[in-house]
Amino acid sequence: MTKKRKPTLKQSKFVDEYVANGGNATKAAMVSYDAKNKIDAGNIGTQNMAKPLIQDLVDSKIKELKDGMLDTMKDTGLMKLAMQTAELDLMDEDPRVRAEARKYILKLAEFLTESERKRNGTTNNYLSVPKWKG
């Protein structure tokens, strides 16, 4: 039986900083490892991101944040409002607005299960087949 490794304190701080700053490994290393220059920080960041343990922690942290955000959106009704707003944008005269609305709806749809789509009244052609691809 293999023992699961635990991250060091600096590695944990690196992961937190990396996720918080939007995925900049150099900045995360500068903060968490107290690196004084960008070259050293960049090397540390690259080495950390090559480690499966770190990558798993980053993925887990991002999933945790997305799930929390999604729960909040569902609880407050923001998901339905966001979908309704995007659907209204599909009727806009500007084709760029319509294209962005389609992208946004598809992005929101990734978070919803089929039953949630039905419950929120968001089952439509925009979620299944993007018009700009077909």
- Express each pLDDT in 22-47 by its tens digit: 889 999 999 999 888 999 999 999 99
Domain 9-67, second-level architecture = Orthogonal Bundle (1.10)
| pLDDT tens by residue, 76-130 | 666 677 777 777 777 878 888 878 877 777 776 666 555 555 554 544 444 443 4
Full-model pTM = 0.54
| Start and end residues for every CATH 1.10.10.1400 domain found in the chain | 9-67
State how far the Cα of 122 lies from the Cα of 106, in Å rounded to an integer: 11
